[in-house]
Chain A
């Protein structure tokens, strides 16, 4: 059912994300990255499953935990590493850093550190895409990516109401890792019926209980196709996932005694990268891993060799001309 090429593509993207993140965790103590990082280790499958069916000209918005979706959507790896290093060759010349990665040429809207903030912004982007389609006849899709915590913000409900009202071409994709910093869902939600809540706005909803990368991909592919062909937006997808590391920083914080170790084990046993590696076999995996090694090393070298921005950069782009 799934071709070798597809499995290899998904595997490579997921493994690239994980190894990039683990490399960051490894070098973090050197202080080359002088800013907070919210690593995506464990959440690769949702990001890759989500982005694989999207086209380059489709748009995604991001949260501050944006490394996985940035890479999955095709964001430039060298520019990403340079941005994390605060270098002038970074995707935003060092002005953004980890929490605000952006790559408009690959359809990646700038990420925001303020939870929920990009939900209405991507909704506005979808409004523009709807207007655009009236002239071009071609409907681009916008995907708003956010976590479970963002659904507690007022602007989430304001946005989905507006999107439903105007049938906007947007997929609302909730990466539900059940944690807001360190606070579990049980302390934040009166009920877990998120899809039901969203459904009352007249929005089609899908709940994925695991991060099965094929299921995520198929669900998004179908949603995107429906929006493109039948203008049937908005569509809401809630996908379960699991954050392996601490909220911010490079550490595994399971020793901190606020998380359920059994749950961690269950997610690790269900790791999509391990699963797809088994499907591909050793030879293919080794080849892909070699490619990943080269890509990460190149990004690191690019970042290290790049200059820091000159002082004059401080006042650039305060206002647009």
Chain B
């Protein structure tokens, strides 16, 4: 029903052969199926992965195809199940551990930070931890304070972990395949609102490499780096801004760690302006990191520091009620207004009209 802007397909010229329009969630499922077929050491587990709903459809049918040894549900026990995944990974398997909400990952922090991230280093290469941790961010229809958190910056902080947050179906599939093949623990962040969004995805198996940002749309006036679902808002903002003659360049970092600063710097050198829109709180976050690194590069090279700003969640717990939730998140209009002021100069205020129906309005529970 909803899809990201077309140029993604264009940017993916190499993969154009045999693409078709599928949902983000189906692209994920296809990644599991293709990798599990290719590599018998891949297995997938977590609460509810084998139930009739199959993690919003992303795991449906996998148990029938690959058996109960390779696709199985577990007790909740997030802490121990993470340790189990780490141990299995050390023993040579490639586990995919699934969390229905990212908020529950706080119960896994000991294992992820003390073991998954450190084992390869602390044991000096004697073990590897090729682990994928799938985790969903919620939003809308009252997900509230504990079903909505985007905690990627907690994981970006830790040496040894990789963090990816693909924003479209193509990258969901390519990143998942890359994550499964990676010999490190990868925190794979999936935004619920993106699940139903269509995108062009190749039939064949392919990897989207980590540490390579994607310029989704080009523009000369302002660089907007957007994370996860905020990419959707930034792309809508791009259209609004075009109506007032502003060309925004939209960049999706895709992987937050490793972070591709080269692509961001290249764009910023062209536009002279950087707006980072994170799908998270700002304090000590991905936006802090990106802006700091831009500053550090400029200081090192002697370039002018660009005009920089950032947007993200209000520094509050996410409220459940819709009117407050609406002002908790940045949206295409607030992003447009911020970009407009950056381009036109301080004090120049403008805000576009409300968007037509989006994936945010379309989302309904009860799950």
> Are the C-beta atoms of B128 and A320 separated by less than 8 Å?
yes
Chain B residues, CB < 8 A from A128? 87-88, 91-93
Chain B residues, CB < 8 A from A131? 43, 69, 93
B103 CB-CB contact with A under 8 Å: no
* B174 to A: closest C-beta gap in Å: 20
Tell me the chain A residues, 154-205 only, with Cβ under 8 Å from chain B. 154-155, 158-159, 161-162, 165
> Are the C-beta atoms of A120 and B122 separated by less than 8 Å?
no
Tell me the chain A residues, 83-135 only, with Cβ under 8 Å from chain B. 91-93, 95-96, 100, 102-104, 109-110, 112, 114, 117-129, 131-132, 134
> Are the C-beta atoms of A162 and B80 separated by less than 8 Å?
yes
Give the tally of cross-chain contacts (CB within 8 A). Answer: 144
We find that the number of chain B residues with CB closer than 8 angstroms to chain A is: 42
Q: Within the assembled complex, what's the spacing in Å between the Cα atoms of A114 and B117?
A: 14
Q: Which of A93, A96, A123, A129 contacts B80 (CB 8 A)?
A: A123
A317 CB-CB contact with B under 8 Å: yes
Question: What is the chain A residue whose CB lies nearest that of B95?
Answer: A124
Q: Which of A120, A129, A165, A318 contacts B160 (CB 8 A)?
A: A318
> Are the C-beta atoms of B184 and A123 separated by less than 8 Å?
no
A2 CB-CB contact with B under 8 Å: no
Selected interface stretch from B108-116, B190-198, B234-242, B245-253:
B108-116
> Are the C-beta atoms of B87 and A120 separated by less than 8 Å?
yes
Chain A residues, CB < 8 A from B119? 110
User: Residues 67-109 of chain B: 1 if any A CB is under 8 Å from the residue's CB, otherwise 0?
Assistant: 0010000110101111111111111110100000000000000
Q: Within the assembled complex, what's the spacing in Å between the Cα atoms of A159 and B114?
A: 17
- Given the known inter-chain contacts A154-B79, A319-B184, please indicate yes or no for A96 contacting B88, CB distance below 8 A: no
Chain A residues, CB < 8 A from B334? none
> Are the C-beta atoms of B81 and A112 separated by less than 8 Å?
no
User: Residues 131-153 of chain A: 1 if any B CB is under 8 Å from the residue's CB, otherwise 0?
Assistant: 11010000000000000000000
Chain B residues, CB < 8 A from A104? 123, 126-127
Q: Within the assembled complex, what's the spacing in Å between the Cα atoms of A110 and B162?
A: 22
A230 CB-CB contact with B under 8 Å: no
Chain B residues, CB < 8 A from A165? 75
Question: What is the chain B residue whose CB lies nearest that of A314?
Answer: B121
Chain A residues, CB < 8 A from B263? none
Tell me the chain A residues, 270-321 only, with Cβ under 8 Å from chain B. 316-321
Chain B residues, CB < 8 A from A114? 110, 114
Question: What is the chain A residue whose CB lies nearest that of B120?
Answer: A320
> Are the C-beta atoms of B83 and A121 separated by less than 8 Å?
yes
> Are the C-beta atoms of B123 and A124 separated by less than 8 Å?
no
Chain B residues, CB < 8 A from A162? 74-75, 77, 80-81, 84
Residue contacts A-B, CB under 8 angstroms, 25 given:
A93-B124, A95-B124, A96-B124, A102-B124, A103-B126, A109-B90, A110-B126, A114-B114, A117-B83, A118-B115, A120-B81, A120-B82, A123-B80, A123-B84, A124-B87, A125-B90, A126-B87, A128-B88, A128-B92, A158-B80, A158-B81, A162-B81, A316-B125, A319-B120, A320-B184
* B contacts, CB < 8 Å to A: 43, 69, 74-75, 77, 79-93, 95, 110-111, 114-115, 119-130, 159-160, 162, 183-184
Contacts A110-B119, A124-B90 known; 20 new A-B pairs at CB < 8 A: A92-B123, A96-B123, A102-B127, A104-B126, A110-B122, A117-B115, A118-B115, A120-B80, A123-B80, A124-B91, A125-B88, A127-B84, A127-B88, A134-B69, A155-B111, A158-B81, A159-B77, A162-B84, A318-B159, A319-B184
